[in-house]
Amino acid sequence: MSRRLRIGVSARIQYGDAAKPGYLKKNIYYLEQSFARWLQSAGALVYLVADVVDRDANSLTLADYAAELDGLVLQGGTDISPQMYGEEPLRPEWAGDPERDRYEIDLLRRFLDSKKPVLGICRGQQLINVALGGTLYQDTATQKAGAQVHQDVAIYDDKYHHVEILPGTRLAALYPGIGHAKVNSLHHQAVNRLGKGLAVEAQAAEDGVIEAIRLEGAQYVAGVQWHPEFLHGRDDGVLDAAPLLQDFLRASHENIQSR
């Protein structure tokens, strides 16, 4: 291969407030530094993919991004709107971000159409599930019987639990001999009913919350509920983030070679 992999990352959105000064008045697409560093650690070139709002501008579409890039990573972030899976928010604060949802689902579908690898992180896993017809727990703690606490905003990425990696899965092959692993937990929504063609690869050891999924078949589409970018490079007993990233990038490389 004569060039580095070009990996697209869906954008988080910070919405502008006219009452605030300077750039805070404007909408901002952004990427957390740790996320970029994780992808760059394996030699990938990272491209933040902005939504295409003006559909007439040079006829640019999200499909053009899918055509030019080698793979897609869906970032974490705000809740997914329950309206995306046919429900109304049970509380106003769970209304999510329908604008970001529509943009990311459109972007995901362009990569699915292009048969290119996709990796979803936290919200990204949830988005894959919803885009393929699945549903979410709007709030795991109150909707799933026996659920443990999966989010503590006061300590953010210092909240941990253990996951069970299911034997015989591709994820298990990436982590041989590791049946249980310590990961971070930063979410209050979670996968409920699985989307079409998806299979579970890991679940929370304490309560069975789905922690990793994969699309069955030839195309590489996978998601994890934890944030591997915050675990990158650590040797303190947390799950190594490198094998997951290397597997995704290897699939992106193989996809290029097969074309």
Residue 90 identity? L
Parallel, antiparallel or unpaired: strands 12-14 and 28-30? antiparallel
pLDDT in tens, 198-246: 999 999 999 999 999 999 999 999 999 999 999 999 999 999 999 999 9
What b/e sequence results for 40-69 when a residue is b if at least 16 CB atoms lie within 10 Å of its CB, and e otherwise? eebebebbebebbeeeeeeeeebbebbeeb
Residue 54 identity? D
3-state helix, strand, coil in the chain (%, to 5): 35, 20, 45
Q: How far is CA 21 from CA 12, 18, 25, in A?
A: 21, 8, 6
Which residue has tokens 């046919």?
86
Residue 124 identity? G
pLDDT above 90 for 29: yes
Whether the CB-CB separation of 191 and 133 falls below 8 Å is answered with: no
Cα–Cα distance, 216 to 20 (Å, whole number): 47
User: Tokens for 110?
Assistant: 């362009």
Topology, domain 6-257: Rossmann fold (3.40.50)
Helices marked H in 69-177 — which ranges?
Answer: 98-113, 123-131, 140-143, 170-174
What value does the mean pLDDT of the chain take? 94
Candidates 251, 249, 223, 229; CA nearest to 241 is 229
Domain positions in the chain are 6-257
Candidates 198, 204, 241, 229; CA nearest to 216 is 198
Percentage of the chain beyond pLDDT 90 is 87
Which pTM value belongs to this model?
Answer: 0.95
pLDDT in tens, 92-128: 999 999 999 999 999 999 999 999 999 999 999 999 9
Which residue has tokens 């896993």?
125
pLDDT above 70 for 57: no
Cα–Cα distance, 11 to 46 (Å, whole number): 12
Looking at the annotation, which residues are catalytic? 122, 227, 229
Helix pair 123-131, 98-113: axis angle to 10 deg = 70
Q: How far is CA 173 from CA 25, 49, 196, 201, 210, in A?
A: 47, 31, 23, 11, 18
